[in-house]
Structure 1
């Protein structure tokens, strides 16, 4: 039985060799078809590789963009925090300056009243104008005070009313 198997194997190999060696040459059309098939397979493999590379590049770009956006958001948050602190500091300074100027205006008025320069009966226009011009009050406040003092000088009968205007203005 082993001989029979050996004879069948040898006969099969012989038939396969005969068929392979006696195969006709492929025609040009068959060669083109075979080349096109191989080119199609190569293009498919290249497209798959390109798709994988593009997917990986997109993933990398997305990761980098995400990191950059996170860094930008963090920097913007820090900048906003610094700007808020600066604004708070400036507001506090401005509030302190306004309070100081308001106190200075009130002191000026108190001095005029204590020294008797500004009463319904007594009015020392020149001394008060000089003290206003030498004060650290804002120019706008100085102009308003001098305007009220001019009003008292022009119409002494309105002194009580104008003194109240001065109090309101300088007590702000």
Structure 2
């Protein structure tokens, strides 16, 4: 009976891991938040499946089996609690990483404005592109920032409008 419960837990965790690994390419913030949510959901599903299996075993087994099932329920509860804590830790870590990325993007745009690289009168395209490529920003964000810088280079009169677009992208 405990093997069945263990198989159910492993299957649910396997499905959760599979779903996590086969997600489409969302933004870095969405990736981290989605992973934490899916891990929590998978853990909750595993705990529910284990609890249901243990309750069914308890009702069918009688007095002797009830002690064993009670032990399984206790173990399942403990495992679910540990898994829930792991999901909480993962969500906290994801939030910290999202905050770090947003901070880096904010610092990058603020540096450009303070150093006068991105103004209506001055635009240092090459230096800004180098800084973006050497940053810790995700490849997706880097590509979008460079595309906006290309648009400013092609039409300098749009610098003020594109600056707001850069701020929105880098501080999300």
What TM-score comes out, normalization by structure 1 length? 0.63
Gaps of 5+ in 1: 1-60
Alpha-carbon shift at residue 141 of structure 1 (Å): 1.1
Deviation at 1:154, TM superposition (A): 1.3
DSSP-derived class of the 1:122 partner: coil
Distance between the aligned counterparts of 2:140 and 2:86, measured in 1? 27
Number of aligned residues: 112
Output the CA distance in 2 between the equivalents of 1:64 and 1:157: 82
Post-superposition, which runs of at least 4 consecutive aligned residues in structure 1 deviate over 3 A? none
Higher relative contact order (CA 8 A, sep 6+): 2
Alpha-carbon distance between aligned partners in 2 of 1:160 and 1:76, rounded to the nearest angstrom:
58
Residue 67 of structure 1: how far off its partner (Å): 1.1
What is the root-mean-square deviation of aligned Cα atoms in Å?
Answer: 1.0
Instruction: Give the structure 2 partner of residue 62 of structure 1.
Output: 62
Residue 144 of structure 1 and its aligned partner are, at CA, apart by 1.0
Q: Shift in Å at residue 155 of structure 1? A: 1.3
Please state how far the C-alpha of 1:139 moved relative to its aligned partner: 1.3
Please give the alpha-carbon distance, in whole angstroms, between the structure 2 residues aligned to 1:109 and 1:71.
57
Q: Which residue of 2 aligns with 1:76?
A: 76
Largest Rg, 1 or 2? 1
Deviation track 1:50-90 (CA, whole Å, cap 9, x = no partner) reads: xxxxxxxxxxx622211121111111101110011001111
| Structure-2-length-normalised TM-score | 0.63
